[in-house]
Structure 1
Amino acid sequence: MCGRTCLTLDPDQVICACKYPPHNEVKAKEEIKQEFVAPEWRAEFNLGRRYNASYNIAPTDITPVIVSAAHFSEAEDQQSARVVMPMMWGMIPAWHKGDYRKHGLTTNNCRLEHLMDSKLYRGPFKRGQRCVVVCEGFYEWQTTKQAKPSEREAYLVYVPQESDVKIYDKSTWSPANVKLLRMAGLFDVWQDESGDKMYSYSIITFQSSKIMSWMHYRMPAILETEQQMNDWLNFKHVSDCQALAALRPATALEWHRVGKLVNNSRNKSDECNKPFELVAKPEKPKGMLAWLTGRKPQQQQQKDKSNSREKKQLQLNTNIDAIKRSPTSPHAPNAAKRPRCEIIKKGETADITVKAEPADC
């Protein structure tokens, strides 16, 4: 956990969905409606890789991540402002040399219990490189029941929405009224030999609370309130201990079962996040596809082949018996005598003549 997410918004829509109240403004007991601030979208090169909205986002994909603007500016008024920037899911070790895809480590998730003991995560945490990963929801497979990986039930987990909003149906909501799920993470910056940068992150997880323990033994650190968001992002004014205290189990989550289509990360269909009972049944395959998808298990195929050989042998024996009983068969009683070839030399040439002689058999 967490191994797959869903985010179908383009950059402009992500910015709209990530608006936040000004941290320094206090309007207690005022009836003035508080204006929300839109974060800045900071487009990084990331070795030419771009964020693409998807119903099925997997590790190594590029996704939007919220960080403090103080990472890029020393101005005082930027200390608590937020920036949204694309990063790769799966932190690349800063010390890694060569192809960034071949560091050989699994860095999709960072266990909170081992964060301070990890050579990979301790440095970014101490440098204040905290981030928040946003998505409409994450997919989780139930591991508390005995089942093969391919047969485990998959679920989409998300935060509670307004009563008329269905997270799997975009016709029922807009970026302005949808509530994105926000997960705490750490990010780092890796450079190749040319000095080009790649931003990458890991999602922080800990042992599941009762709300999710029936599904999986691990869950992400979900930030439910704006206070938690500020405490986690504002590394300049919030200590490490205070930031860690902001990471606690979520108190309200919703989920629904989804189809097996999501099991393959190459499937990007809008059917991925729909409830299991609403997923369209695939059409019955035709032609060659029907033969390929309708192939029987190996044991059944071997049994069918054995039966087929027996049938062919039985048919062959039947045909041989029928031939022997035929009046024209040389094996039949009183069969007609067949001609035999005889070569007769005439001078220096040889002609082939046919004589009617009794058969040898």
Structure 2
Amino acid sequence: MCGRFTLTVTWEDLMERYLIDPESTSPFHTPRYNIAPTQMVTAVIHDGVRRRIGQLRWGLIPSWSRDSSGAAKMINARSETLEEKPAFKTPFIRKRCLIPADGFYEWQRTADAKTPHRIGMKDGGIFSMAGLYDMWTTPDGSKLSTCTVITTRPNQLMERIHNRMPVILSPEDEALWLSRSAGSGDLKRLLGPFPAVEMTATVVGTSVNSVKNDTPDCIRPITS
């Protein structure tokens, strides 16, 4: 699964990376070191004319849902069953987004401990996790936009740490993922594991275990 991630870059870095006009939106991002479910996350969509950047709450609530009770269980969507699950079927075809990150956390289980790792690109750069979003009408009539991160089988780097990983899109495939005219077959071919050779994993301290901690200490490597 993908249950925590980081986005430690600046607002300017995001604007440049996703080719978004800075004048099209007001800055809202500050560096984040321990992004957790139910929090607001940065996301990029395409509105049919241009890319837009904004915030979505992590934990999908389908538009047809009666309440928000299931959101915490929908932080991830398995790539293998997107077209089978009612909550994900329509968003997969119509409401796809990019969720920027520069690292994600996973805990490696051993006989007597769980060791946190931060996984990212070898160059330390921003990457895009494949996401879905939907808009839910709350009981008081307001709108809430929520999202989920799609997961897939692990690559060679991840398989020693965990049996799932987020779908990471190569930069050249991001436009296709956001395209409103993309077909199911073209989209599904993007849902495999990202090449392990381009990634790295680093053991970090247990500060990340608590969602209350959102400081640079969360990403500090542990050296033996």
Q: 1:125 to 1:104 in 2, by over 3 A?
A: closer
Structure 1 residue runs without a partner (length 5+): 20-36, 44-49, 71-77, 162-166, 168-178, 279-361
Q: Pairwise mapping of residues 10-49 of structure 1 onto structure 2 (< 5 A)?
A: 11-19=11-19, 38=21
Rg larger in structure:
1
Q: CA RMSD, aligned part only? A: 2.2
Is the contact made by 1:141 and 1:215 (CA closer than 8 Å) also made in structure 2? Answer: yes
Q: Pairwise mapping of residues 1-361 of structure 1 onto structure 2 (< 5 A)?
A: 1-9=1-9, 11-19=11-19, 38=21, 53-70=31-48, 78=49, 81-98=50-67, 100=68, 102-103=69-70, 106-126=73-93, 128-143=94-109, 145-147=110-112, 151-161=113-123, 167=124, 179-226=125-172, 228-236=173-181, 238-251=182-195, 252-277=198-223
What SS does the corresponding residue of 1:121 show, helix, strand or coil? helix
Q: What amino acid is the match of 1:83?
A: R
Give the Cα separation in 2 of the matches to 1:82 and 1:115: 24
How big is the shift at 1:85? 1.3
The structure with more strand, counted as a fraction of residues: 2
Is the contact made by 1:93 and 1:103 (CA closer than 8 Å) also made in structure 2? Answer: no
How big is the shift at 1:105? 5.3
Is the contact made by 2:136 and 2:144 (CA closer than 8 Å) also made in structure 1? Answer: yes
Q: What amino acid is the match of 1:16?
A: E
Identity of aligned residues (%): 29
Q: 1:192 to 1:223 in 2, by over 3 A?
A: same
What SS does the corresponding residue of 1:67 show, helix, strand or coil? strand
How big is the shift at 1:16? 2.8
Count of residues in correspondence between the two structures = 221
How big is the shift at 1:139? 0.7
Q: What amino acid is the match of 1:212?
A: M
Give the Cα separation in 2 of the matches to 1:87 and 1:208: 26
Over residues 291-332 of structure 1, what are the superposed CA-to-partner deviations in whole Å (9 max), with x where a residue is unaligned?
xxxxxxxxxxxxxxxxxxxxxxxxxxxxxxxxxxxxxxxxxx
Give the Cα separation in 2 of the matches to 1:275 and 1:122: 39
How big is the shift at 1:10? 5.0
What SS does the corresponding residue of 2:156 show, helix, strand or coil? coil
Q: 1:38 to 1:255 in 2, by over 3 A?
A: farther
Alignment match, 1:170: none
Q: What amino acid is the match of 2:43?
A: V
How big is the shift at 1:41? 5.5
How big is the shift at 1:264? 0.7
After TM superposition, the score normalised by the length of structure 1 is 0.57
How big is the shift at 1:277? 2.7
How big is the shift at 1:153? 1.0
How big is the shift at 1:42? 5.2
Higher relative contact order (CA 8 A, sep 6+): 2
